[in-house]
Amino acid sequence: MLIRNNSEIKENQVTDYQDYQKRREFIKTAAGLGLAALSGSLIQPASAKILKSPYSTSEKLTDYEDITSYNNFYEFGTSKSDPKRYAKAMKTSPWTVSVEGHCEKPGKYNLEDLLKPLTVEERIYRFRCVEGWSMVIPWLGVPLADVIKRMKPTSRAKFVYFETLADPKQMRAIKHQILDWPYVEGLRMDEALHPLTILATGLYGKDLLNQNGAPLRLVVPWKYGFKSIKSIVKIRFVESQPMNTWRKSSQDEYGFYANVNPDVPHPRWSQRRERVIGSGFFSRKKKTRLFNGYEDQVASLYSGMDLGKNF
Amino acid sequence: MQASTFSQTRKKNTVSKRAGAKQLKTGEFYFRIVFKPLLFILLLAPALWLAWGAYQDSLGANPVEAVIRGMGDWGLRILLLTLLISPLKRLLDWPRLLRLRRMLGLFAYFYVALHLLAYVWLDQYFDWNEIWLDVVERPFITVGVLAFVLLTPLALTSTKGMMRRLGKRWKRLHRLVYPISILAVLHFWWMVKLDISEPLVYSILLALLLGERLYRNVVRQG
Ligand code: HEM
């Protein structure tokens, strides 16, 4: 196991892509010299060993500062700045994930045990929030399919249910019954097994910060951000479609599928276009694409479905 | 019910001035030279603050949203402040306060106009087709626009000349401020995703302000 050291903390200030790339180059050299410990993380491999992925986009990355300061994580408050301010109170190590339901390997897994045999890879994905803004984020993570396969779900497992930690002692806004905690999300089994779907453990080459859903979160890049559930403590294989939290709060505003779709408007946000975070004051919004631009990869999952009804 | 119009207040003031009370003269001095300019600067400060933040790029990850929301917040706050003037005047028995109403009302309009400009320019980039779709598709934008459209004639008729020219009709016209405030608060209600605490606070304040007037009307009639 690698241990976090001081030089890593300084490296944490790194923000933009050039620096990130430079750092990767540096680590590569360092790794070559047998200094792999520089990458200093429990879960993330030395940067040089991080696999690049053909699924990554080459679009300009959103600044690290923006990704880690403009967040929706209502367990810590409803303002975008609350998670950064208050999420430090959440303890993410040790972290246990309870795997339940229709599978052959249920049980309580240490985060490290859940991920151990798998290779963390980099996935640079577009991230589109239902509120009409978007980012490009270099995640680190593992394909969810790899984790699921190890749990050996039975034929009765048709959906995967996920749950976020809900501890009022660590999450200051839980006491306001704004949403029905714990936060719940779900995926159809074929969506969960899709190669684009990952469980993320880091971004920009570092462990996830708490405001981004440390230590383990889902990332489903063709769906609105609220599907990408944070700080997961429970994964359950179930037979029927789970009731996800936002849908429960407002059935006609949020669906189960929540696929990014410019032609299905939300009552408060037109979904035709998106504000690209970091694009500056005087820039036009970008046209939103069906399935957030991942149409070629995922459209077949929904063939024959009415996307307006199953929004 | 609104109390006396601006010109009536002035008349009263001139009368009391003629009575020769020196104290009132210093009162008038402080009101004009200190109080009003100070309030002017205070009301301008949020706009300067936002402009500075925009220039410094210190408004966070989504500066366009920060500017739109900041201007909207101050537009609504100052609008409610405008409604506070006449009850406050009665409470403090300070008739001069009424002379702040026009400045407050115009500042409310100033912020709402900037709010709208920020939306049309920074958010939508003058895409009129998209703006039109927004107005018809999103209920909170619809009521926002309605509030702005109704507020415009009030701002345009805020001058003394207009007041004189319109006479009794001026008062009737400016009672539009009540439905406008309701629309503005509704605009906020329909905008929020989940956390209703802020619009709730504004609603309570507005209910108190309108309730006070209703109560006085009923008491006076009864
Ligand atoms: C009397 C007129 C108006 C008042 C008092 C007003 C006030 C407000 C307030 C208080 C907010 C919430 C800010 C916050 O969340 O802190 C808001 C949001 C907003 N208003 Fe207005 N508004 C008015 C008219 C308009 C008009 C005419 C438009 C555009 C056509 C508009 C567009 C918006 C938008 C787009 C937002 C939300 C921005 C976001 O989602 O981030 N408003 N307004």
- For B33-89, what is each residue's pLDDT tens digit? 899 999 999 999 999 999 999 999 999 999 999 999 999 999 999 999 999 999 999
Q: Is the CB of B67 under 6 A from ligand 1?
A: no
Domain that holds residue A221: 46-302
ipTM metric: 0.82
Rounded percentage of chain A residues whose pLDDT exceeds 70: 85
Q: State in Å: Cα B182 to ligand 1 middle.
A: 13
Name the closest-CA residue to atom 43, ligand 1.
Answer: B72
Given this model, what pLDDT does residue A36 score? 36
- Best residue for ligand 1 mutational test, from B76, B110, B115, B180 (most atoms within 8 Å of Cβ): B115
Given this model, what pLDDT does residue A31 score? 40
Q: Mean per-residue pLDDT for A282-286?
A: 91
Name the closest-CA residue to atom 23, ligand 1.
Answer: B144
Mind listing the pLDDT tens digit for each residue in B79-124?
999 999 999 999 999 989 999 999 999 999 999 999 999 999 999 9
Flag whether pLDDT at A265 surpasses 70. yes
Q: State in Å: Cα B68 to ligand 1 middle.
A: 7
A contact test, residue of B55, B57, B64 with most A CBs within 10 A = B64
If one compares A309 and B145, the residue with the highest pLDDT of the two is B145
Chain A residues whose CB is inside 8 A of the B193 CB are 78, 131, 268
Q: Is the CB of B147 under 6 A from ligand 1?
A: yes
Given this model, what pLDDT does residue B24 score? 60
pLDDT-derived band of residue A13, with 50, 70 and 90 as boundaries? very low
Q: Is B61 within 8 Å of A281 when comparing Cβ atoms?
A: no
Ligand 1 atom nearest B123 alpha carbon: 35
Domain ranges of chain B: 2-219
pLDDT-derived band of residue A177, with 50, 70 and 90 as boundaries? confident
Name the closest-CA residue to atom 15, ligand 1.
Answer: B69
Given this model, what pLDDT does residue A38 score? 38
Q: Mean per-residue pLDDT for B180-198?
A: 94
Mind listing the pLDDT tens digit for each residue in A19-64?
666 655 544 444 433 333 334 465 676 665 678 899 999 999 999 9
Given this model, what pLDDT does residue B89 score? 94
If one compares B189 and A252, the residue with the highest pLDDT of the two is B189
Length of chain B: 222
Chain A residues whose CB is inside 8 A of the B62 CB are 70, 80, 133, 275, 277
Ligand 1 atom nearest B180 alpha carbon: 1
Q: State in Å: Cα B207 to ligand 1 middle.
A: 20
Rounded percentage of chain B residues whose pLDDT exceeds 90: 77
In angstroms, the Cα distances linking A133 to A53, A82, B23, B53, B208 are: 25, 18, 59, 21, 37
Flag whether pLDDT at A158 surpasses 80. yes
Judge whether A173 lies within some domain. Answer: yes
Out of B61, B130, B195, the one facing A66 most closely (by C-beta) is: B61
Chain B nearest CA to A222, separation (Å): 22
Burial class (CB in 10 A: 0-12, 13-18, 19+), A159: buried
| Separation between Cα atoms, residue A281 and residue A55, nearest integer Å | 30
pLDDT-derived band of residue A18, with 50, 70 and 90 as boundaries? low
Chain B nearest CA to A10, separation (Å): 23
pLDDT-derived band of residue A116, with 50, 70 and 90 as boundaries? confident
pLDDT-derived band of residue A269, with 50, 70 and 90 as boundaries? confident
Q: Mean per-residue pLDDT for A190-219?
A: 97
Q: Is A70 within 8 Å of B60 when comparing Cβ atoms?
A: yes
Q: Is B62 within 8 Å of A80 when comparing Cβ atoms?
A: yes
Rounded percentage of chain B residues whose pLDDT exceeds 70: 88
Q: Is A268 within 8 Å of B140 when comparing Cβ atoms?
A: yes
Flag whether pLDDT at B15 surpasses 70. no
Beta carbons within 10 angstroms of residue A234's beta carbon: 18
Q: Mean per-residue pLDDT for A249-276?
A: 92
If one compares B12 and A126, the residue with the highest pLDDT of the two is A126
Q: Is the CB of B72 under 6 A from ligand 1?
A: yes
Given this model, what pLDDT does residue A271 score? 93
Q: State in Å: Cα A28 to ligand 1 middle.
A: 50
Rounded percentage of chain A residues whose pLDDT exceeds 90: 76
| Separation between Cα atoms, residue A65 and residue A190, nearest integer Å | 34
Given this model, what pLDDT does residue B20 score? 52
Given this model, what pLDDT does residue B5 score? 45
Judge whether A71 lies within some domain. Answer: yes
Given this model, what pLDDT does residue A25 score? 55
Chain A residues whose CB is inside 8 A of the B54 CB are 281
If one compares A125 and B30, the residue with the highest pLDDT of the two is A125
Q: Mean per-residue pLDDT for A298-311?
A: 94
Q: Is the CB of B145 under 6 A from ligand 1?
A: yes
The domain tally of chain A equals 1
Q: What is the DSSP string of B112-128?
A: HHHHHHHIIIIITTT-H
Domain at A283, CATH number: 3.90.420.10
Q: Is B64 within 8 Å of A281 when comparing Cβ atoms?
A: yes
Q: Mean per-residue pLDDT for A104-129?
A: 95
Flag whether pLDDT at A12 surpasses 90. no
Range of A45-49, B15-19, B22-26, B151-155 with top mean pLDDT: B151-155
